[in-house]
A and B are shown apart, each in its own frame.
Chain A
Amino acid sequence: MSKKIFIDFKRCIACKACEVACEMEHGEARIRVFEFPDLTSVAFNCRHCEKAPCMEVCPVNALSKDDDGAVVLDPLKCIGCLMCGLACPFGIPKIDEYNKIMDKCDLCAHRRAEGKLPACVSACPTEALKYGDINDVLWAREGKIVAELKDIGDRTNVLEAYLIR
């Protein structure tokens, strides 16, 4: 089952707890928070794409998918050729200047192995970051909308109520 980190930008307050948590785990933050002039903010990390371009271009197969669907990098294989960084539409893999190999989000593989949540998700004080299967996350969100609609439906004509809102 493929699990990912989902971002609810409505809830993000740009506190950067996610960045700091990632930095504490990995030495370098692999998630970044972007702030916009209108006060919205979005935390942004690797999407762990279904068809990951980084994986496809890696000449030495240093990138692969693990059981949870995370695109992880094998540091022993990586030759630091930067192809993955170029191919990634989001510019996620970054060179680790010291070791001359790439560095990217692995959905905190070591934490998942211990049954823990990714560090950024654990920290996020507003729950703007959610970790899970897309169907579960979507259902949690849609479920709420459905419940609301039902609630309105009990009281009055659904469509009318919805339009008035």
Chain B
Amino acid sequence: MGMAEKRISVVCPWCSVGCRFYIVNVNGYPKKIEFDYDHDIRNHGKLCPKGVAAFQHLRHPDRLKKPLKRVGERGEGKFKEISWEEAIKEIAQKLSEIKEKYGSEALAFLGSERCSIEENYVLQKLARALGTNNIEYVCRMCQSTAVAGKGMVLGHPGLTNPFEDILKAKVIVLWGYNPAATNPVFFGQYIEKAILDNNATLIVVDPRKTKTAKYADIHLQPYPGTDLAIALAMLNVIITEELYDKDFVAERAEGLEELAKTVEKYTPEWAEKVSGVPAELIRKAAITFATAGTAALLTNEGVNQHANGTRTVMAITEMMVLCGYFGKEGVMSGAIPGAHNGMGAGLMGIGPHELPGRFPLHAEEHKRRIEEAWGFKIPEKPGITYVEMIDAILEGKLKALYVMGTNPAKALPNLKKAEEAFKNIEFLVVQDIFLTETAKYADIVLPAAAWFEKDGTAISFERRVQRSFKAADAPGEAKPDWEILVMLAKELGFGEYFNYSDADDILREINRIIPPLAGATPERLKKNLKGCMIPCPDENTEVPRLFVQGFLTPNGKAQLIPVEYKEPGEVPDEEYPFWLTNYRFVGHFHTGTMSHRSKSLSKRWPEEYIEINENDAKRLGIKDGDLVRVETRRAALVLRAKVTPHIREGVVAAPWHWDFNYLTTDVLDEYAKMPELKTAACRISKVEG
């Protein structure tokens, strides 16, 4: 009961399934969550532990409530409170000064998969108003290889089909992806039903036997980053045994001959030597996949986060093309972004080479159209990518970084180097809901409203645009990110370009600027909680399935570009004999900004541990629960050992929500500039005493 108790519908603030639920609010204060069994929504009312605990961090005592100015050393975390007026004034002054002195390219901005599309749109517009394309977000570190790889082959990186289609798939391949831990509701409501109720065959590719792999009929366990060898060998089998869909390929793809020639040498026997997976198992997987009739093939960071990530994505996508599994019911292909608006942020033009709508920077026609609408010029010179920004800071080229709702000081690879950069940058602004690891280095910290404390739109990995509504008041003086950006834009003298009084205003401008989103109007999304699947060119249209007619490449045909094998960036040797990889806990999220502050989650998943195969452990005299030292060329961590048969010999794995990235290398994928976050060479030893 209660006089002013209200139920407000929100989108989950964690992963990208797009689950909805209610926040029950009493006089502006969030009291609890309630499941939504009333509407036809994607999660059918269900939630995973993060969703259920989603309001715990909202009222955590650590929430930032006032703007802060650094008084101590960088990284020390000592600040004094200042007024909004002072904070905005100082930021505007400093950004202008730096621009004046070093040019616009000395400025850079980081957007956020945790903020709304409206907020990301405003941020990139502000960067461009200031004359720079140095604008990025973490997609560079989780999905960029998938975007590049699928872009080259198919012309579009999005998930191809609606969730329901997976229920009709005959074979499901989960490659470098453990949805039972990363997207439990998607797993339970769709994948598990397809397997247990509809007898779909499951093929899993993962060095670890995960909760997902428990359901697998075929489980391939390659060394981390050697997936490319498996994909090439599967292409080899599909082509040499003529298991592909000849009509489909003839009509809708080009390049088969070249591809066939290239993969000739990549036999399953060759792949066994490279990946450690038995040739027979690879052959069996290829045949099962190619002869199923309908297939869903979902990939994730296990594929993406490698120095050969783009190549692997291309090879895997080409398997789907060869078998004719596109544009039909009962199939699915895609990579799954981590956060609830991972896809939306990218579409807003948060990219150093991209315009809003994901048009390339050099797409003159679009550029002119957008410039006309905005009233100012978009800078010509492409910006630099996320990881490259760190080098640019260290080289003294980048002087100011503005970080909205993201935590690079924990998400970047080779963290020691990143910390050096944050210590040495001339000016750093962080706007977030907590004092993150990154915020501790900031000159000015701005308190942002959390996801439930504002209206905003997100795009789930199903390409579904959904509105989330303000369900609680922000604590203290915290403000929605877009409001902060508008204040700053006005102070910088750009007021006329940033004339928004609410999120609806911004969404309406997005409707006008980005044609595939023209039909996702505030009115439509408010009326229809299930949202709509992009592209939605007008208010009555949406596109549940991609590639029904043709692919989105210039000539409409899939490009079977030949891919050669390339090793991951760092492989074991005598000095560092183990392959190191990482994984996620179902109860934690990314760098832990929110989940480490959720009591119910941190209590159940309190600490990290490193998984070691039982045979390796025996050899090294390590017992379950021992402390072990894990060392790479960059750093060492001491972690508790979990001795298990569920990881393959020669590989060790730890969750990445803690300090894992001190260990990783910053070698980059050549196409997408994705850092190799998923593997490194390491040595391990028991910590004595």
Contact = CB atoms under 8 A, between A and B. Distances in A.
A21 B54 CA distance: 11
Contacts, number: 87
A13 B211 contact: yes
B52 interface: yes
B601 A10 contact: no
A123 B209 contact: no
B211 A124 contact: no
B192 A126 contact: yes
Interface in A44-98: none
Interface in A13-41: 13-17, 19-21, 23-24, 37, 39-40
A44 to B, nearest CB: 15
A126 B209 contact: no
Interface in B210-250: 211, 214
B32 A125 contact: no
B600 A20 contact: yes
Contact of A17 (B32, B49, B644): B49
Given A16-B604, A19-B49, A20-B604, A125 B188 contact: yes
B440 to A, nearest CB: 29
Contacts of B587: 16, 20
Contact of B33 (A10, A24, A116, A117): A24
Band of interface residues on B: 20 to 34
Given A13-B211, A15-B180, A125-B189, A20 B601 contact: yes
A44 B551 CA distance: 49
Interface string B172-210: 000000001100110111001000100000000000010
A3 interface: no
Contact of A21 (B37, B52, B184, B644): B52
Contact of A24 (B37, B45, B600): B600
B456 interface: no
A77 B479 CA distance: 48
A21 B45 CA distance: 13
A137 B644 CA distance: 36
A17 B47 contact: yes
A13 B52 contact: no
Band of interface residues on A: 20 to 34
Nearest to A33: B604
B51 interface: yes
A15 B605 CA distance: 11
A20 B196 contact: no
B586 interface: yes
A116 to B, nearest CB: 8
Interface in B46-98: 46-49, 51-53
A136 interface: no
Nearest to A23: B600
A126 B193 CA distance: 8
Interface in B26-40: 32-33, 35, 37
Contacts of A127: 46, 188
B45 A126 contact: no
Contact of A125 (B53, B187, B209, B214): B187
Given A24-B53, A125-B47, A125-B187, A13 B604 contact: no
B194 to A, nearest CB: 12
Contacts of B185: 125
B284 interface: no
B586 A16 contact: yes
A17 B646 CA distance: 23
Most buried by A among B33, B43, B52, B187: B52
Interface of A: 10-11, 13-17, 19-21, 23-24, 37, 39-40, 116-117, 122-127
Given A19-B600, A24-B32, A125-B185, 17 more contacts: A13-B181, A15-B181, A15-B184, A16-B587, A17-B48, A20-B600, A24-B33, A37-B644, A39-B211, A39-B646, A122-B35, A123-B47, A123-B52, A124-B188, A125-B47, A126-B184, A126-B188
13 contacts: A14-B586, A15-B184, A16-B586, A17-B47, A17-B184, A19-B600, A20-B52, A20-B600, A23-B600, A122-B46, A123-B46, A123-B52, A125-B47
Rank and list the top 3 A-B pairs by shortest CB-CB distance, nearest first: A126-B188, A125-B188, A20-B49
